[in-house]
Chain A
Amino acid sequence: MSWKSKDLLTLEELSAGEISLILDTASSFKEVSSRSVKKVPALRGRTVVLFFHEPSTRTRTSFELAAKRLSADILNIQTAGSSLVKGETLIDTLKTLEAMTIDAIVVRHKSSGVPQMLANVTPATVINAGDGAHEHPTQGLLDLFTIREQKGKVEGLTVTIVGDITHSRVARSNIHGLLKLGAKVRVCAPPTLLPAGIEKMGVTVFNDLDKALEGTDVVYVLRLQLERQKNNLFPTIREYSMTFGVNNERLKRAKKDAIVMHPGPMNRGVEISSGVADGPQSVIDDQVTNGVAVRMAVLYLLQGESNEKPS
């Protein structure tokens, strides 16, 4: 199969075949990142705009490296320092960029649906780098890539996602992707951090972490988004950590060869102990490495299809 869509907005809209195509392509790009000259000319002359309206280190630098390793030109725009602070609307900013003939926009925004809105009005490729509590598709893809690399497959694995599901776009993208590739997904959180009706997505809900970890292949720890906790959704961070923090003692309940993942940035000692984060089962650094390869694959596959049809 070849790539059809102009944009990457969600994993919900992708088929298992499309996800696999991205992951297979990413394997080749991972090899490129291991060379001494870590660059291929595939997107030479293309311009990629990184349009970030929320703080980000790893996603933005990962996209920037990915685009550079494809030989594309990069433009970085952040809210502070742009005309958005003068009151320009997002769409007007986009139109201005478009007038300078850009090819792709990687967008992060605190409101869900912004990438979709931009994609509707621009012929340029739009890639969602995280919108509100909606989706973070490239994070989901790099997590799937890492699981597949570590375990050889995704189908049939049991994956436990622990933490603040309500506010987590990472959780939503992962749930969609994992279910499409045939994994069994458990979610575990205090009821106040679980969206109503989450089980309708096809996941099993646990409120007891020990039970949720029993026999699992992958432990996916979400960041406790302290900046979003203003409504007393749990009593104290200390209590959260005691009830839902993943430590070495708890990890013993998972399979012996279970891997531990975290999308970063970590709150060490809150949702994950340092012993686990730096332990032999942790693949957190692999996730970061694979992020560049997966984003290269996404940029590569999305570019070019919109304008010209292959001969």
Chain B
Amino acid sequence: MPPKIKALIMEARDMDRALTRIAHEILERNKGTQDLVLIGIKMRGDILAERLAAKIKNIEGTAVPFGAMDITFYRDDAGTHKPEKAPSPTELPFDVNKKKIILVDDVLYTGRSARAAIDQIIDFGRPTFIQYAVLVDRGHREFPIHADYVGKNIPSAAKEQVLVRVKENDGKDEVVIAEEGE
């Protein structure tokens, strides 16, 4: 059964504004784009990372490399949980050593995805640091993880779903709260 939509939280222009603000915050905090790279967690964080890279280019005039990472094999339930769809390959077109990495995801929930992503990045090399940017923080953390840049805080109940949709994958840009489907 598909999830039942309860509320529209962000429309396309809200998402765009939030990403614009995050792009400015990243530049402000890191004082420019020196050694900066963006890594998005598939399947939507990579699209948001690409958009952030475009915004940073607009603001600063320099192109920031971005990559996409699939964390399936690093999940803490990788041995017992199998995804419905085959994982897609990780694409990091740069060396992570001595880079300032901005990890990008759509929703921060338990913090488990971020843990898996950090472990995977470290298998690629030793970055200078990793900062974490999310479009939505919905609470309910199970790991000691926090985001450095947040598009919007959305208090939610555990039985609800917070769905970020992007036009590349889902036809339109929006963030909705849905009742968990069967």
Contacts and interface: CB of A to CB of B under 8 A. Distances in A.
A3 interface: yes
B73 A41 contact: yes
Majority secondary structure of chain A interface residues (helix, strand, loop or mixed): loop
A249 interface: no
Contacts, number: 70
A43 interface: yes
A232 B70 CA distance: 54
Given A25-B87, A300-B73, A37 B79 contact: no
B32 interface: no
B30 interface: no
B123 interface: yes
Contacts of B86: 21, 24-25, 27-28
A136 B123 CA distance: 34
A28 B79 contact: no
Interface string B74-92: 1001111111111111110
B79 A304 contact: yes
Interface residues of A, number: 32
Interface in A264-311: 300-301, 303-305, 307-308, 310-311
B79 to A, nearest CB: 5
Interface in B93-145: 119-120, 123-125
Contacts of A311: 77, 81
A47 to B, nearest CB: 12
B87 A28 contact: yes
B72 A28 contact: yes
A42 B79 contact: yes
Contact of B73 (A2, A3, A27, A42): A42
Contacts of B91: 31
Nearest to B88: A28
A42 B120 CA distance: 11
A37 B72 CA distance: 17
A35 B88 contact: no
Contact of A37 (B70, B73, B123): B123
Contact of A35 (B70, B119, B124): B124
B72 A2 contact: no
A45 interface: yes
Nearest to B82: A2
A2 B124 CA distance: 29
A305 B82 contact: yes
B80 A2 contact: no
Contacts of A21: 86
A53 interface: no
B80 A31 contact: no
A248 B57 CA distance: 53
A300 B73 CA distance: 9
Interface in A60-92: 70
Given A27-B89, A40-B74, A41-B73, A1 B84 contact: yes
A107 B168 CA distance: 44
Contacts of A304: 78-82
Q: Closest 8 A-B residue pairs measured CB to CB?
A: A24-B86, A40-B73, A31-B89, A42-B73, A42-B78, A310-B81, A25-B86, A28-B87
Interface of A: 1-3, 21, 24-25, 27-28, 30-32, 35-37, 39-46, 70, 300-301, 303-305, 307-308, 310-311
Given A1-B84, A42-B79, A310-B81, 15 more contacts: A27-B88, A28-B87, A28-B90, A30-B89, A32-B90, A36-B124, A39-B123, A41-B73, A41-B119, A42-B72, A42-B73, A46-B79, A301-B82, A310-B77, A311-B77
25 contacts: A2-B82, A2-B83, A2-B84, A3-B82, A21-B86, A24-B86, A27-B86, A27-B89, A28-B72, A28-B87, A37-B123, A40-B74, A40-B120, A41-B73, A41-B74, A41-B78, A41-B119, A42-B79, A44-B79, A45-B79, A70-B73, A301-B82, A304-B78, A304-B80, A310-B82
Interface of B: 70, 72-74, 77-91, 119-120, 123-125
